[in-house]
Amino acid sequence: MIHLFQKGTNPSSPTFLLLHGTGGTEQDLIPLASEIDKEASILSVRGNVLENGMPRFFKRLAEGVFDEEDLIFRTKELSAFLDQAAEEHHFDRNNIIAIGYSNGANIAASLLFHYQDALQGAILHHPMVPRRGIDLPDLTGRNIFIAAGMNDPNCSSDESKELYKLLEQANANATIYWGNKGHQLTNEEVEAAATWYWNNK
């Protein structure tokens, strides 16, 4: 997968897996990662799917309707890439925290839904429920931050609450932050994510 890696200055800090939104690139979330922990390593990945020329992490059938078969395939592909990248770049495979926005948050959530040890934790900005009707792995010890918008046209508050509940039922330590904006990534939620990160480090 197309990606960039920046080695952090603190070996005990995690590697941030940065996952952009639809139409983004591996450059998009680097400033956000620095806002949260300047000493962490960064592995920023570009989605392998194109939708009308815009990079994404998996296909969709319509707005808000995921191509479930492709989602499962791409989640497995990303999980395998993390194994490979950890070897190539010499970072701790067991200390990865995903930071995802929109489509990137959805593939990060899908990693949590499918693989017990894929991520140590996650910061999910405006995620949806990736799949329904499946048993989640035991996510004990996984810290997960969800940033949701009360007026988000792409992701209803009910959707955010459902994801939070599913993660809690899987024993994750989940936190939900409510902003009063729409689907955009705001400074306020980044600041809230940073506070949460340092409180749970």
Indicate which residue of 44, 102, 110, 160 is catalytic. Answer: 102
Helices 103-114 and 68-89, axial angle in degrees (round to 10): 80
**Catalytic, out of 44, 110, 125, 152:** 152
Alpha carbon distance 148, 121 (integer Å): 17
Whether 152 sits among the annotated catalytic residues: the reply is yes
Would you tell me how many other CB atoms lie within 10 Å of the CB of residue 1? 17
Helix residue ranges, H only, the chain: 30-36, 68-89, 103-114, 157-169, 187-199
Of 93, 108, 81, residue with least CA distance to 19:
108
Active site residue 102: yes
Active site residues: 102, 152, 183
